[in-house]
Amino acid sequence: MSRLLVFGLGYTASHLARRLSGEGWHVTGTSRDGRGGTVRFDAGDAVLAEIVAATHILSSVPPAGERDPVLDRYGDALIRRRCWLGYLSSTGVYGNTGGAWVDETAPVGSGRRTARAAADAAWLGLDARVFRLPGIYGPGRSPLDRVANGAAHRVDAPNVFSRIHVDDIVSGVVAGFDGPAGAYNLADDRPCSQNPVVDFAARLLGVAPPAVVPVASLSPMAQGFYAESRRVATGKAKRVLGWAPRHADYRAGLRALKAMNSPSAVSPAPPPASADQRYPSNRVDSSIAITGTSTLE
């Protein structure tokens, strides 16, 4: 049986776990406190046993400060295991390209996310498949939800960004199971500024678009986000992995979410998170049943 060990069952990794569990995989994950059938991250022997048993290991844990917690604690064991390794990174490692296209041959580490770039390089050094992700959206966490909750806004900035539906990340990681080690950008085919996306979400919901606000009125984190602009090229993943996004642009992705009765009843959410801003690594999705354990909480 194929066995996946996930370090950090956040939003994206939980969607992957749900798919693989449904396909007969044994999936387990780590959390800070071991709730819901997960393995406590600092339970060394128990985690080492899962590493030995795993056929595939994926980390979605972002750096803590300047360090990668997974590599700091379990890097030696991962080197010895020599199974399939994957890491969810961020296209933020490319820094600001002024809206130009960027692919995996571009230098990394010139942006704000130096710790992420260092972790990205370290996982590549372990022959991992490193998936560099832009803004992530999906069920319960999309412009539809923010517009419906009154939390959306348009921004007086021309910056261009790439984005991706969470299901397309899942399909990209699965395609990577049979692909060679290396870095892969995963994104849809229509990078654009944030405002058309919010406008389209409002139109789908039949409401007026939210107000335009100046960048200076945003939080320091959001201002940092809008200080960058880039278009992410995905030719390598398409060519090498045979992957292509099912939701080729934000219109297709938002239509699909609307068709599945999104938005759901959620708390107001922030703008689409980059891989650096994803949900905490110890957060467990209560809807994922881990094979051989109880339902996660």
**Torsion sign (Cα): 204, 144, 285, 277:** positive
Q: Which residues contact 202 (CB under 8 A, 6 or more apart)?
A: 147, 152, 208, 209, 210
Residues 6+ apart with CB under 8 A from 68: 61, 118, 119, 122, 123
Task: Report angle CA 257, 156, 199 to the nearest 5 degrees.
Answer: 25
Q: What is the pLDDT of residues 94-143, one digit of tens each?
A: 999 999 999 999 999 866 678 999 999 999 999 999 999 999 999 999 99
Phi, psi (degrees; rounded to nearest 5) at 76 = -60, -40
The topology under which CATH files domain 61-277 is: Rossmann fold (3.40.50)
Residues 151-198: pLDDT tens digits? 999 999 989 999 999 999 999 999 999 999 999 999 999 999 999 999
Alpha carbon of 209 to those of 40, 156, 162, 212, 252: distances in Å?
44, 14, 21, 9, 19
* pLDDT (0 to 100) of residue 38: 87
Residue 270 has pLDDT above 50, yes or no: no
- Asked whether residue 288 carries a pLDDT value surpassing 70, the answer given is no
Q: Is the pLDDT of residue 291 over 50?
A: no
> What's the average model confidence in pLDDT over 43-72?
96
Sorted by where each begins, the domain ranges of the chain are: 61-277
Query: What average pLDDT score do residues 47-69 get?
Result: 96
Read off φ and ψ for residue 11, nearest 5 degrees.
-60, -55
Q: Are 131 and 168 in contact (CB under 8 A)?
A: no
Residue 261 pLDDT greater than 90, yes or no: no
Collapsing DSSP to helix, strand or coil, 22 comes out as: helix
Q: How far apart are CA 33 and CA 291, in angstroms?
A: 19
Q: What is the pLDDT of residue 110?
A: 67
